[in-house]
Amino acid sequence: GYFDNIIPCGIRGKAVTSLNVELGVEKVDEGEVKERILKHFAQLFECNFDLQPA
């Protein structure tokens, strides 16, 4: 697949992955991923987000 052509940080011989592979699902819910990342980012950096609809 496309991921086979990626050389992470110029380190040859190391593979990359995808959320689909790591989670063992065919389709990843991008909205859920965004929500979780923002939640953990806010906790880590002790901040709040005022999200606006796109």
Active site residues: 9
Strands (E), 1-54: none
What six digits make up the tokens of 52? 């606006």
What number of CA atoms fall less than 13 Å from residue 42's CA on the CB side?
A: 11
Q: What is the chain's length?
A: 54
